[in-house]
A and B are shown apart, each in its own frame.
Chain A
């Protein structure tokens, strides 16, 4: 099953030719870039009040990342659009460049 998912993601991000181990590493890296850019975009649209709320959420989240994501999903207007744009951007960034 993991292979199936990895293959799909690998295809989306142009990592088809890599072996599974390498694909996994790349997928992890891409995930990190995605998170960072999504967070920056989300913060961009926050007003001061929401920023304070978000900061509290992050401070209190511990390992409960769902709390943080839940906040973003719930409070940030157009969050899904942001995620979509960032995913597409990263897909473009990785398309067709790997050996």
Chain B
């Protein structure tokens, strides 16, 4: 029976309770029928945070309230017993047009509905079944292949019903749009708002005429038809070929209509050939179509175009080529992918569920800001290392170390890290900045435009300087780890793309619409934007504050740190250094004054580093050196009181008296001091500092005097080129590996200050060298904290338990499952996973858990990846449990790569 398109069925709408979107799929399925029935009875359902009972029905308000933490089965029973039984006999007839009123004719194609009641069989089972057609209460039959008009929020589309399934009274229909934008709508599922509204469609002949007239030039003729056929076949081949590769069989490929392709090529013995053998022909076709598109556009544009018009035309041509050749190819591929699902044994229910999940995920994706979408896709892209042309590394240690690194370096694009390689020196950045400014100066832009652009350049390179320092750890990692592993460091990096990476630049591109996404494939209505949490603070942006952009000095702000702003300005004298000047300045702050030596060292180290990132902002020369007579001005350094107070707070929080961090800092200071005392005539260079800090415990460490007996004089302070330029002439550009000047060392009357000077020299070298071979105290501190944090994050991400209705989550670290794993002997667990599982010696009960637990397996994949990164240098100790081992392993990998000096743990 041909459907009567002149009559639109009643529209129906299911109103699901607020909070329903947070239910698990299982729970949704359990309640779907009940909710529909409640709807039909006029009963409202609400999810509430708190109430006495798990589920309570308010008869006067006709509202069922379900507590968020309610047990699904209890609620189901409650609905059955407390509501439906009560309602027996008073059930209302469903409203016309409700989905419940869609009667289903199961597997009876072309059934003629002579008498509605006689031939319809209402399906009440909650099982999902595939059906051929459905009908609403008006007797209008909806069949597969029917053309329907679909209204959605803000628009409408025509579509063709491609399949039906039903779950109870709910009909799910998959619809693909006529516009080839593969509108996919699931009728009657949880997102449904309206059932299809059928519209009059012209006769097949009329429709063809209209289509023919509408077709653009490149779509007319056999060429396009051939190309479309090739595209569809190729899309199927792609899917089939993948299965083939996965399972080592051609069965799937044969089942996907590849006969023609195979016959034509005649050499399909290697499945990999399938893709490439057909590639050339297909590419030829694509190129031909691309040419047709260009010809059409050029013909319509006319001749004698201005350069601007030519650029605009080129852009339009490329947009159309993308739409016609890339996007449609992708659409065909996705369609084949989904169709292939239907050919598996997964069943229609699961297939539909997958389709729904894909739709929901894309809805979520489109709900992201443009910036987030770009970042999202790029983080995914870099996961395989391919975007930037690198090889595809194996996914190894995953986020464990990466997360740590990012705790100190978020906000910088991963791509830059991968791509940047050696161009990390400040000199190089300065050079690039100058080159860009020069180019700008020579441009034909107006003064105003130049001024604006120059500001942008300055900001950009200011950030680059920060990155050059902040990513030291990442750099050494680049050198030492595979791309795949490195890519895992990218977690979160694109969230803060303020650094000006591709994401940022793409953000600034025209238009705000999600380019390339056929948004109309997604349901406009039925998807509640409120399901998506409102964007909060960008995760990675919050991790590390971006350096403040240049702005007018706000003396009043600085006064919050210092009562007398004038102390921030200092004329450089012999013996001065950045460290010394800062220390002297900070001693005017009560908070700093009250800190321990190690805490002060932390603060000074942090602030010195910041100064060295943009030395010219503070009166230093661009190499970060000082000249006698220079005036330093640290007003800008302290204008962000929040940031400075954050450093103070961090020092106090993390460098506790007697803590490992304090010991580490003091030990480093002592080591350097001892060395300087023991080698008064030797220079202190990068290699030496590394050697000192990595010296074995047997190195004799001279005690540090507890009190300073003499006020340091100018002569008493160690002077190094890195600290102070004893010249009025501008400092030369530093050499790649600057040596600390080997002047005879004067007696160090103030050892503590001397240590600071040395530490500054060390920091200075570190900055200039991009961190090669150097371990800073800051690094030590952040490494230790980072390892712990990364460890917890990793365990949480693996073992986290989500509660009912999305609530009552248990962090992974607190789960019983992790608790069990944490205490297991690491040597045996590692043996089980990496060696002979039968010889692990673990009890059967434990073995069973290890075998079955996906979480344990995920953890061990991460652990194995880390062990690989450690080149086998870290193995479990005899009495070490898993928690201890993983922390030690993670710490080792982190340290090793941050130093780029492999050594045994």
A and B associate in one complex: yes
Q: Restricting to A52-85, which residues have a CB under 8 Å from any CB of B?
A: 52-56, 58-66, 68-70, 72-75, 79-81, 83-85
Q: Of the listed stretches B331-339, B713-721, B838-846, B889-897, name the one at the interface; the rest are far from the partner chain.
A: B331-339
For B531, what are the chain A residues with a Cβ–Cβ distance below 8 Å?
Answer: 59
Which chain A positions have C-beta within 8 A of B322? 26, 29, 94, 98
Contacts of A12 in B (CB 8 A): 386-389
Interface size, chain B (Cβ < 8 Å): 108
B290 touches A99 (CB 8 A): yes
Name B295-343 residues within 8 Å CB distance of A: 311, 314-315, 317-319, 321-322, 325-327, 329-330, 333-334, 337-338, 341
Which of A9, A55, A70 is packed against the most chain B CB atoms within 10 Å?
A55
Give A3 to B416 CA distance when docked, in angstroms: 11
Q: How far is the CA of A95 from the CA of B329 in the complex (A)?
A: 13
B539 close to A73 (CB less than 8 A): no
- What is the 8 Å Cβ interface bit string for chain A, positions 23-58, against chain B (1 contact, 0 not)? 011111111111111111101101010011111101
State which of A19, A32, A98 has its C-beta within 8 Å of the C-beta of B517. A32
Whether A99 lies near B314 (C-beta < 8 A) is yes
Question: B373 touching A63 by the CB < 8 A rule?
Answer: no
Are the CB atoms of A25 and B510 closer together than 8 Å?
yes
Query: Are A63 and B383 within 8 A (Cβ)?
Result: no
Q: How far is the CA of A87 from the CA of B514 in the complex (A)?
A: 19
Is A66's CB under 8 angstroms from B539's CB? yes
How far, in Å, is B251 (CB) from chain A's closest CB?
A: 18
* B318 A98 Cβ-Cβ under 8 A: yes
Judging by beta carbons under 8 Å apart, are B395 and A73 in contact? yes
The answer to whether A74 and B798 have CB atoms under 8 Å apart is: yes
| Contact of B368 with A2 in the complex, beta carbons under 8 Å | no
- By secondary structure, the B interface counts as helix
A37, A54, A64 interface centre (most CB from chain B within 10 Å): A64
B32 interface contact, C-beta 8 A: no
A17 to B533, CA, bound (A): 40
Q: Which residues of A contact B365 (CB under 8 A)?
A: 32, 35-36, 39, 65
Q: Does B381 contact A (CB under 8 A)?
A: yes
A63 touching B516 in the complex, CB below 8 Å, given contacts A29-B322, A34-B380, A98-B321: no
Complex formed: what's the CA distance from A9 to B775 in Å? 34
The answer to whether the Cβ of B591 comes within 8 Å of any Cβ in the partner chain is: no
Q: How large is the interface on A (under 10, 10 to 19, 20 to 34, 35 or more residues)?
A: 35 or more
Chain A interface, DSSP helix/strand/loop, else mixed: helix
Stretch among B1-9, B145-153, B500-508, B667-675 lining the A interface: B500-508
Task: Name 21 interchain pairs, CB-CB below 8 A, sorted by A.
Answer: A1-B501, A5-B413, A27-B502, A28-B370, A31-B374, A33-B326, A36-B330, A36-B517, A54-B357, A56-B22, A59-B21, A60-B22, A62-B534, A65-B375, A65-B379, A74-B798, A79-B395, A93-B325, A93-B329, A98-B321, A99-B314
Spell out B's residues near A (CB within 8 Å): 21-22, 24-26, 238, 242, 279, 283, 286-287, 290, 294, 311, 314-315, 317-319, 321-322, 325-327, 329-330, 333-334, 337-338, 341, 350, 353-354, 357-358, 360-362, 364-365, 368-370, 372-381, 383-384, 386-389, 392, 394-395, 398-399, 413, 415-416, 419-420, 460, 464, 484, 487-488, 491-492, 495, 499-502, 504-506, 508-511, 514-517, 531-536, 538-540, 797-798, 802, 806, 854, 858
On A, residues with C-beta under 8 Å from B are: 1-6, 8-9, 11-12, 18-22, 24-41, 43-44, 46, 48, 51-56, 58-66, 68-70, 72-75, 79-81, 83-85, 87-99
Other A-B pairs beyond A35-B376, A51-B25, A54-B361, 9, CB < 8 Å: A4-B416, A22-B318, A48-B353, A62-B536, A66-B540, A73-B395, A80-B487, A90-B330, A94-B322
